[in-house]
Amino acid sequence: MSKFIKDLKNNLNGENIRIVFPEGTDKRILTAAAGHLSNSYVHPIVLGDADELKQIAAEENINIEGLEILNPKTSELSPRLAGKFCEVRQGKVTLEQAEDIIQNINYFGTMLVHTGYADGLVSGAIHSTPDTVRPALQIIKTKEGVSKTSGIFFMRRGDELYVMGDCAINPTLTAEELAEVAVETAKTTMSFGITPRVALLSFSSKGSAKTEEAEKVRLATEYAQDKLPDTLIDGELQFDAAFVPSVAEKKSPNSPLEGNANVFIFPSLEAGNIGYKIAQRLGGFEAYGPILQGLNKPVNDLSRGTTTEEVYNLALFTATQVMANRHDS
């Protein structure tokens, strides 16, 4: 186990943060949730039919004794959640429609978070990113002053730890929106006890290419620096100029990062998604995430290729976000 994960656990010990796992019928989810029963970091809440989950647990030899299970189809919470959903949607759905929508496990789980029954949500093992994010945007919504949610990954290999974003949500961003992603990523990084050194990436370093794309990153860097003047932020930089000190000396000799960035902001989702997967699959980095940021309460999205360990760890990340939000409020 890495020191980073150990530190997360130490900070969460005794907190029993209530995390809902909508996809209880997936054995990876059920195994990870059961794993949290033996600690006091996370109190898991799993959605599904209790008899079905017990059968899966028996077949897979998973001990789920004491696991809190809620079935959206039969839960006594469902009528109240449907009514609250109507209020959130402000007349866009009828109560009858809301009662039907609440049967969807991601909507039910997100409403548990919205109403305070749960503190955060982890989904996406068998659902697409839109299926996880759409309820969050409709119900929990973004924080005041944040126009878009974005998705970051913590990338770990041995003692190396980096943060990459946006790798999950926004196909294209304006300079202002890209700056917002940089600022929110820096804040998220700090909430995990890491001092951010933020590089906004491009195919250009400090004007080496004169294009609209490079100019957007340059402007985004200025906006981000203005919003977080006490945080080390620089761009536009090619990855090697942001990461390799000897290259930084040649390509960006005046950069305060000096080739030692640990947070990398990609100019587009295309670049970000490709970049983190290359680091994961060719570089041997473990990818934790995507961690969604900018929401009022934590909702996080798994990859459908996720492992049990990644589900377990993402619950720790989600619980850490809960603690950070409590501290901020």
Q: What is the structure's pLDDT at 111?
A: 96
Identify the pLDDT of residue 329.
Answer: 60
Pair 13, 322: CB distance under 8 Å: no
pLDDT band at 48 (very low <50, low <70, confident <90, very high): very high
Is pLDDT at 70 greater than 90 in this prediction?
A: yes
Q: Which has the higher per-residue pLDDT, 304 or 247? A: 247
Give residue 179's pLDDT.
97
Q: What is the largest CA-CA distance in the chain?
A: 65
Quick check: pTM over 0.85?
A: yes
Rounded average pLDDT over 179-195? 94
The position carrying tokens 């059920």 is: 30
